[in-house]
Amino acid sequence: MTTRFPDGDAESVSAWSTKPVRKMEGRVECPADAVEADSVNMERCISCGRCAPQFEPAGDVRIALLSESNRTFRQSFHIYLIDTGSCGACNTEVHALSNPVYDFNRLGIFFTSTPRHADALIVVGVLAERMHDVLIAAYDAMPEPKLVIAAGTCAISGGIIGRPVTGAVRVDVLVPGCPPSPFTILDALIKARGGR
Ligand code: SF4
Ligand code: SF4
């Protein structure tokens, strides 16, 4: 039942993403200011669908590594998920990684129930005011070396309603999409830890 891990990068495999970048024709009133010259900025797009008639999948979702991938993490890699104000969809896609279809345990990646055992923090959702100190506390509780992965438009840019998490903690990896697909998140995790 487990899917084969695809060859190549997420950037080059359009099927990895549920929300690939699209080329647009004509003027679109985008509430997230995500429409660019000939594509959509997937770090801002909230998947509202207003530009749906002009959608044209182009398979160009770019994971951004903001720091050097760390070879320290080449063996088992433990992640702690924190929701600072999501709609729930990004959480669902992250949790899907542990199901029999994606099965990230086969790649040596595991959820941990405490930030004290985490190599990486995955943050989803806008940064709600009351979650600010919770996020900082989780980050401070993690042992060094540690990574922070912002998954989804809300965490990266704040969407249209909130603040991003990028201003509160040092973020190492951006995973675009609203929500990002499990394979895109998995690709980001593998790149973040320094490869397979
Ligand atoms: S789907 Fe994305 S790009 Fe299109 S209008 Fe909505 S926010 Fe803008
Ligand atoms: S990025 Fe999209 S799917 Fe993820 S929490 Fe925000 S609104 Fe929900």
Q: What is the pLDDT along the chain (196 residues), one digit of tens a residue?
A: 677 666 655 444 443 444 444 555 666 678 888 877 767 788 888 888 777 666 554 445 677 777 765 667 878 999 999 999 999 999 999 999 999 999 999 999 999 999 999 999 999 999 999 999 999 999 999 999 999 999 999 999 999 989 999 989 999 999 998 899 898 899 899 888 887 6
Residue 2 contacts residue 106 (beta carbons within 8 Å) = yes
d(CA 187, CA 181): 10
* 86 pocket-lining for ligand 2 (C-beta < 6 Å): yes
d(CA 64, CA 155): 13
pLDDT attached to residue 67: 73
The residue whose C-alpha atom lies closest to atom 3 belonging to ligand 2 is 179
Q: Which ligand is nearest to the CA of 93?
A: 2
* 34 pocket-lining for ligand 1 (C-beta < 6 Å): yes
* 23 pocket-lining for ligand 1 (C-beta < 6 Å): no
pLDDT attached to residue 121: 97
pLDDT attached to residue 71: 65
pLDDT attached to residue 34: 85
* 21 pocket-lining for ligand 1 (C-beta < 6 Å): no
* 157 pocket-lining for ligand 2 (C-beta < 6 Å): no
d(CA 157, CA 64): 13
Q: Which ligand is nearest to the CA of 40?
A: 1
Tell me the H-state helices in the chain: 89-95, 132-141, 153-157, 182-192
